[in-house]
């Protein structure tokens, strides 16, 4: 099952096992079961610390990862290869007793959860977001005996996952819990744990407080800390939307990386400095009070700082048409890399004719029955080479001057209705999926009227990253900077931090 290189890498990791691990497998005569058993036998033969046995489990094929003297709390239903192979290896290490690489405060919050939490996550082996969720829930299962987690490969359990239209899809105690990438801190907060508001209220005022966890915010926090300033950082998740980026090839000095890898590197770099990081919380409002900036969080806590740097980035822009919200994750999707495999052999549409939209249509044409690209304008805005590639595909169609009007269906999406802008005629397309690729909208609602924004909601900044309010700075995709690029956001974050330092010196 494993090639020579992967087997050599695995052997190095298995040397780190600190205790005995038992793999309990439930296998049948199907190919997936055979592949699973081949993988498990190969792994078990590489170390004496792993024992393999067979039993009857809830799903076949599946296997549990546990300790000899405990009931197993981690289950893999399917064959954890592809992006999930790392999840399997980490589960082996952590169940063996090796300490997870996680903040001690987060581990303490997990340990405090006292209610039974039985998680199930439907994944795709091609999904780049899924491993983060699987690894987070596996870690929680290792730390707290009240928690169990099962990873379910939708491609293996097709009948069971037939209504799953987006991955990862997380269920808690049989009920829908969440979808998309979620961090440990986000999951803990959602089940009633997380940061305590009273504890946050008791924190001393910062010299620099950064809101956001993406490249701009990371650079700002690091530069501020390097100046010796008391620095705080409020972020829903480290990496921000970079976590949802598949491949990155334009970060100068780094020939090629992925969004999750870069996000992990950002987190490690942040932890190298004395930065008070508060994750899985978001800013609710900001206010300038005398010489201080007060930030209210969504859990009711308030933080105070002499200066503030806003680097909250942007999110996928919604079409804001009837049916979009109702059919989100039931046919409406935003990430073709992650959710595309769920629409294999089906008819789909992509809304948006820029590079992202055309690239999505090309990728989807390779796995779906048919893909229709809808562009509001007269012509596509994507690079010519991408347009030519899409036009050459026999199962693709391009429709310009199309204004999406409505999405309809019963339990799942089944039809898209659009208006021909040049004729006013209304037309419909029968389909099972729509991928929205119409750009980004800045995450700036929480600033209200405190700082000036343009008509697109972007915070207006000068060349130093300063807003119209003294002591408040902004950087990255949430601002009116011309180009939305990772490397530009990093530079803007550094500029904002240096400007905040200069402001503190002068005031």
Cα distance between residue 60 and residue 430, in whole Å: 35
Q: Of 481, 479, 483, 496, whose CA–CA distance to 444 is shortest?
A: 479
Instruction: Report phi then psi at 291, rounded to 5.
Output: -100, 10
* pLDDT the model gives residue 335: 81
Side-chain half-sphere exposure of 60, counting CA atoms within 13 A: 12
DSSP-based three-state secondary structure for 168: coil
The DSSP secondary structure of 102-137, one letter per residue, reads S-HHHHHHHHH--S-EEEEEEE-TT-SSHHHHHHHH
* pLDDT the model gives residue 93: 98
Cα distance between residue 506 and residue 281, in whole Å: 32
* pLDDT the model gives residue 241: 85
* pLDDT per position as a tens digit, 371-383: 999 999 999 999 9
Mean pLDDT of all residues in 185-193: 89
* pLDDT the model gives residue 233: 98
Mean pLDDT of all residues in 458-465: 98
Cα distance between residue 93 and residue 20, in whole Å: 10
* pLDDT the model gives residue 54: 97
For residue 338, pLDDT over 80 is answered with no
* pLDDT the model gives residue 193: 81
* pLDDT the model gives residue 280: 87
* pLDDT the model gives residue 337: 74
Q: How far apart, in Å, are the Cα atoms of 330 and each of 160, 321, 340?
A: 15, 15, 13
* pLDDT the model gives residue 91: 98
3-state secondary structure 259-283: HHHHHHHHHHHHHCCCEEEEECCCE
* pLDDT per position as a tens digit, 21-79: 999 999 999 999 999 999 999 999 999 999 999 999 999 999 999 999 899 999 999 99
Q: Any bridge partners for residue 372, and if so which?
A: 349, 397
Q: Boundaries of CATH 3.40.30.80 in the chain?
A: 4-191
Cα distance between residue 334 and residue 273, in whole Å: 35
The DSSP secondary structure of 373-393, one letter per residue, reads EE-SSSS--S-HHHHHHHHT-
Sheet bearing 413-420, strands edge to edge = 402-409, 413-420, 426-430
* pLDDT the model gives residue 247: 73
Instruction: Report phi then psi at 498, rounded to 5.
Output: -65, -35
Cα distance between residue 44 and residue 52, in whole Å: 6
Q: Any bridge partners for residue 22, and if so which?
A: 51, 66
On average, the pLDDT of the chain sits at 94
Mean pLDDT of all residues in 334-340: 81
CATH class of the region 201-315+441-506: alpha beta
**Tokens matching residue 123:** 């994944």
pTM of the model: 0.78
Express as a percent the part of the chain with pLDDT over 90: 83
Mean pLDDT of all residues in 409-426: 96
Q: Boundaries of CATH 3.50.50.60 in the chain?
A: 201-315+441-506, 332-436
pLDDT band at 104 (very low <50, low <70, confident <90, very high): confident
DSSP-based three-state secondary structure for 20: coil
CATH class of the region 332-436: alpha beta
Binding residues: 207-222, 347-361, 467-477
pLDDT band at 226 (very low <50, low <70, confident <90, very high): very high
* pLDDT the model gives residue 195: 83
The DSSP secondary structure of 316-365, one letter per residue, reads EPP---TTTTTTBTTTEES-HHHHGGGGTTSEEEEE--SHHHHHHHHHHH
* pLDDT per position as a tens digit, 108-148: 999 999 999 999 999 999 888 899 999 999 999 999 999 99
* pLDDT the model gives residue 34: 97
Binding residues for NAD(+): 347-361
The answer, yes or no, to whether the previous bond of 308 is cis (omega within 30 of 0) is no
Tell me the CATH number of domain 4-191, given options 3.40.50.720, 3.40.30.80, 3.40.605.10, 3.30.70.980: 3.40.30.80
* pLDDT the model gives residue 295: 98
Instruction: Report phi then psi at 255, rounded to 5.
Output: -60, -40
Q: Any bridge partners for residue 122, and if so which?
A: 152, 169
* pLDDT the model gives residue 273: 97
Q: Which residues touch 208 (CB under 8 Å, ≥6 apart)?
A: 220, 221, 224, 229, 230, 231, 232, 305, 306, 307, 308, 309, 497, 500, 501, 504
Cα distance between residue 111 and residue 98, in whole Å: 16
- Annotated catalytic residues are 335, 338-339
Binding residues for FAD: 207-222, 467-477
pLDDT band at 244 (very low <50, low <70, confident <90, very high): confident
Which residue do the tokens 């907060």 mark? 189
């Amino acid at each position: 099952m494993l090639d020579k290189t992967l087997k050599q890498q695995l052997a190095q990791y298995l040397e780190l096992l600190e205790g005995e691990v038992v793999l309990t497998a439930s296998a049948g005569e199907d190919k997936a079961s055979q592949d699973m058993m081949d993988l498990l036998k190969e792994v078990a033969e590489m170390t004496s610390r792993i024992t393999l046995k067979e039993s009857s489990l809830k799903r076949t094929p599946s296997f549990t990862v546990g300790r000899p003297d405990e009931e197993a709390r981690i289950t893999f239903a399917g064959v954890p290869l592809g992006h999930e192979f790392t999840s399997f290896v980490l589960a082996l290490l952590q169940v063996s007793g090796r300490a997870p690489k996680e903040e001690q405060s987060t581990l303490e919050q997990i340990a405090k959860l006292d209610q039974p939490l039985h998680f199930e996550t439907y994944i795709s082996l091609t999904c780049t977001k899924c491993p983060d969720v699987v690894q987070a829930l596996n870690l929680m299962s290792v730390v707290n005996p009240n928690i169990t987690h099962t990873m379910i490969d939708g491609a293996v359990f097709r009948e069971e996952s037939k209504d799953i239209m987006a991955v990862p899809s997380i269920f808690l105690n049989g009920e829908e819990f969440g979808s998309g990438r979620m961090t440990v801190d986000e999951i803990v907060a959602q089940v009633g744990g997380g940061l305590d508001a009273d504890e946050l209220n008791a924190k001393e005022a910062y010299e620099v407080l950064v809101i956001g966890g993406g490249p701009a915010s990371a650079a700002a926090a690091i530069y501020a800390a390097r100046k010796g300033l008391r620095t705080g950082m409020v972020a829903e998740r480290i990496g921000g939307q970079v976590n949802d980026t598949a491949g990155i090839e334009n970060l100068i000095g780094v020939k090629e990386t992925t969004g999750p890898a870069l996000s992990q590197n950002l987190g490690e770099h942040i932890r190298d400095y004395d930065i008070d990081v508060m994750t899985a919380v978001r800013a609710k409002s900001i206010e300038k009070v005398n010489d201080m900036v007060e930030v209210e969080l969504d859990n009711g806590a308030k933080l105070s700082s002499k200066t503030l740097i806003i680097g909250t980035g942007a999110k996928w822009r919604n079409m804001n048409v009837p049916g979009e919200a109702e059919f989100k994750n039931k046919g409406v999707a935003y990430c073709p890399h992650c959710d595309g495999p769920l629409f294999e052999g089906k008819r789909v549409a992509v809304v948006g004719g820029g590079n992202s939209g055309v690239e999505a249509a090309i990728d989807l044409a390779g796995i779906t029955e048919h893909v229709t690209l809808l562009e509001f304008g007269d012509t596509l805005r994507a690079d010519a080479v991408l347009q030519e590639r899409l036009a050459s595909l026999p199962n693709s169609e391009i429709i310009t001057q199309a204004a999406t009007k409505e999405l309809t269906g019963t339990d799942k999406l089944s039809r898209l209705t659009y208006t021909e802008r040049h004729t006013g005629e209304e037309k419909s397309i029968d389909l099972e999926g729509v991928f929205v690729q119409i750009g980004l909208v800045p995450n700036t609602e929480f600033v209200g009227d405190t700082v000036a924004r343009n008509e697109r909601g972007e915070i207006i900044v000068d060349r130093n990253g300063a807003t119209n309010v003294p002591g408040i700075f902004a950087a990255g995709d949430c601002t009116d900077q011309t180009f939305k690029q990772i490397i530009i956001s990093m530079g803007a974050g550094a500029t904002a931090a240096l400007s905040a330092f200069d402001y503190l010196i002068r005031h």
